[in-house]
Structure 1
Amino acid sequence: MNSPHFHFTAETTSNGVVQHDFTMGEVTGALWSPVSGADRAPLVLMGHGGGNHRKSPAMTGRAQLLVAHGGFHVAVIDAPGHGGRPRTAHDEREIATMQKAMAAGEPVGEIVVRYNAHLAERAVPEWLATLDALQELPEIGADGPVGYYGLNMGTAIGVPLTAAEPRITAAVFGLFWYDESLAESARRITVPIEFALQWDDEHIPRPSGLALFDAFASKEKSLHVNSGAHKELPRFEADSAVRFFARHLTVGGPTA
Structure 2
Amino acid sequence: MAVKKGLFKTSVGRKNLMAITGLFIIFFLVIHLIGNLILIIPNSFFPIEFWGGVENVHDMYNAYSHFLVSFWPVTIVAWVLYAAMIIHVVDALLITIQNRKSRGEKYQVTDNSTSTWYSRNMGVLGTILGVFIVLHMAQFWLKYKVLGTEHDLYELVLATFKVWWFVLIYEIGIIAMCFHLIHGIESAHRSLGIYPKKVMSIIKYIALCFSLVMAILYAIIPIILYLK
TM-score (norm 2): 0.28
Greater strand share, 1 or 2? 1
Greater helix share, 1 or 2? 2
TM-score (norm 1): 0.25
The one of the two structures with greater contact order (alpha-carbon pairs below 8 A, sep at least 6) is 2
